[in-house]
Structure 1
Amino acid sequence: MNINSQSGKSEARRVIRRARALIPPLERHSAESAVVAMAKQLGLLRRGLKIAAYVPAGSEFSPWLLMLNALVCGVDVYLPKVPKRGRKLSFVRLDSTNRWKLGPQNILEPLGGEICSPRDLDIVFLPLLGFDASLARMGQGGGYYDCTFEFRRLRQSWKKPRLVGLAFDVQYFEQLPVDTWDLRLDYILTGKKIWRKP
């Protein structure tokens, strides 16, 4: 699919949500398992790393299997917490002592626990609605990830944390309209393919 205008983003979001919701459970599980193998192959689950993932909402690609494997591998896993004001996420460490509450976006968030600055994360696994071959990311439209990791756009060489999108193949678009504030990802993993920066 090709989107060539900002007004097209709204329609694309509707189309992709419908398509993503129709993915059968077996196909979802297969993609989630394959993504764990891909992440290990890329060295994204090495002991001692600090990674962030997310609690999936609706039909989003679920990173739960990835997070469980990361914890087994000795990786520190963090989950985003949406602020009451502003758009910069904070990241709370996932462990057995976490308590949970519904956040401002009606997504479960951990309460308490160690906080990690976005700049101190090694890898961030992000949800997305659409992506293209240049690894442009179309999110839900809230701008939280774009705002939180805007510091990455100012760097010429050092690109920490690495940003990794998780998606299904049906979320691919030929070309997305890109704004100056939109994130470009380092990888996108679909379970069938590892997309890398061109």
Structure 2
Amino acid sequence: MREVSLHSVQQLHDKIALRHELRGKRGSMTAAERRKAELGAALQARRNGWLKPGKRIAAYIPVGSEFSSWPLMLLALKLGAEVYVPRVPKNGKQLEFVRLDQHTSWSAGAYGIPEPSHEKTCLPHRLDTVFLPLVGYDDQGFRLGQGGGYYDATFAFRRLRKYWLKPRLIGLGFECQKASHLPVDHWDLKLDAVLSG
């Protein structure tokens, strides 16, 4: 039987408490504040050159009070970028990225997230930029996710590289989700940037 350290238990407890606190802050934002930040993030992504024609980007289908990636995805499609959204696997933790366009069909998926279906998919290492959901983030570039570990597992190959290669990992979140310091485990990925509007 594997022994669980006191540090691991404390780390888990800290993450659970922080998720609860930050979700509360995120949920208390007004609709106008949310829209302003979400549109601002899409324009900032455009200015940074991440939504150019032919670029392969991935974003996510927002649920609940998550930062909406829809303005960013719609702008990317308008500009001619290829847009992909994740599909949660039935087994394992490796996300599959499915094309989002007029031919995408939808069904009910895991965790109540609409699941896309399309004949075209993209392997994680072939994406140019991935816009990730988050519950919290800090100045060191660490991200606190929902706790499922899907993004950390899917992009674990980035931790093994000596030199930077795509995809670029960009968090999407509101300013109120920023923490001074996040509890970090060895498998947690660092973001390249966060767009908060």
TM range (shorter): over 0.9
Segments ≥4 residues shifted beyond 6 Å = none
> Quick check: 1:41 aligned with 2:58?
no
> Quick check: 1:78 aligned with 2:84?
yes
> Quick check: 1:148 aligned with 2:148?
no
CA distance in 1 between partners of 2:161 and 2:175 (Å): 30
More helix by share: 2
Equivalent residue in structure 1 for 2:114, among 89, 96, 108: 108
Superposition pairs of residues 22-171 of structure 1, within 5 angstroms:
22-171=28-177
CA displacement 1:141-186 (0-9 Å, x = unmatched): 0000000000000111123100000000010110111111001000
How much identity, in percent, do the aligned residues show?
A: 50
When Rg is computed on C-alpha atoms for both structures, the one with the higher figure is 2
- For the 8 Å contact 1:94–1:113, the answer to whether it is kept is no
CA distance in 2 between partners of 1:15 and 1:45 (Å): 32
Equivalent residue in structure 1 for 2:189, among 173, 178, 183: 183
TM-aligned CA deviation for residue 112 of structure 1: 2.5
CA distance in 1 between partners of 2:143 and 2:104 (Å): 30
**AA in 1 matched with 2:187:** W
CA root-mean-square deviation: 1.0
CA distance in 2 between partners of 1:102 and 1:172 (Å): 31
TM-aligned CA deviation for residue 42 of structure 1: 1.2
TM-aligned CA deviation for residue 47 of structure 1: 1.0
Aligned partner of 2:6 in structure 1 is none
> Number of matched residues?
188
**AA in 2 matched with 1:50:** R
Further displaced range: 109-118 or 51-60? 109-118
CA distance in 1 between partners of 2:48 and 2:187 (Å): 27
TM-aligned CA deviation for residue 99 of structure 1: 1.2
SS of the aligned residue for 1:105 comes to helix
Aligned partner of 2:5 in structure 1 is none
**AA in 2 matched with 1:135:** G
- Return the TM-score normalized by structure 2: 0.93
Further displaced range: 82-91 or 99-108? 99-108
TM-aligned CA deviation for residue 12 of structure 1: 0.8
CA displacement 1:51-103 (0-9 Å, x = unmatched): 00000011000010100100011000000000000000000000111110111
TM-aligned CA deviation for residue 113 of structure 1: 2.8
